């Protein structure tokens, strides 16, 4: 997985074709986005640090408005 921008992550999360789940453990929070059974992106929040990750081919899962920018 590689780092992606927050707007790209939000685009993937808000897509009605994708599912997501949240897992919290103490100070660590993880949000995972799936397309079917495939994990396509995740958000890691640890204390004040937030990072967004996507698979190498995550751009093919973005909705059209994000691709045009």
Q: What is the pLDDT of residue 63?
A: 79
- CA atoms of 12 and 57, how far apart (whole Å): 12
Q: What is the pLDDT of residue 34?
A: 96
CA distances from residue 48 to 17, 31, 39 in whole angstroms, order as listed: 30, 15, 24
Q: What would you report as the CA-atom Rg of the chain, rounded to the nearest whole angstrom?
A: 12
**Domain contains 69:** no
Domain count, the chain: 1
What digits encode the pLDDT tens for the residues 1-60? 999 999 999 999 999 999 999 999 989 999 999 999 999 999 999 989 999 999 999 999
CA distances from residue 38 to 8, 25, 67 in whole angstroms, order as listed: 17, 23, 21
**Domain contains 11:** yes
Residue appearing with tokens 């707007």: 7
Domain span at residue 23?
A: 2-61
68 pLDDT above the threshold of 70: no
**Domain contains 67:** no
Q: What is the pLDDT of residue 10?
A: 94
């Amino acid at each position: 997985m590689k780092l992606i921008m927050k707007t790209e992550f939000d685009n993937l999360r808000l897509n009605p074709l994708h599912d997501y789940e949240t897992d919290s453990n103490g100070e660590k929070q993880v949000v995972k986005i799936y397309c079917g059974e495939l994990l396509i992106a995740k958000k890691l929040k640890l204390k004040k640090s937030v990072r967004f990750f996507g698979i190498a081919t995550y751009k093919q899962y973005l909705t059209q408005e994000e691709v045009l920018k």
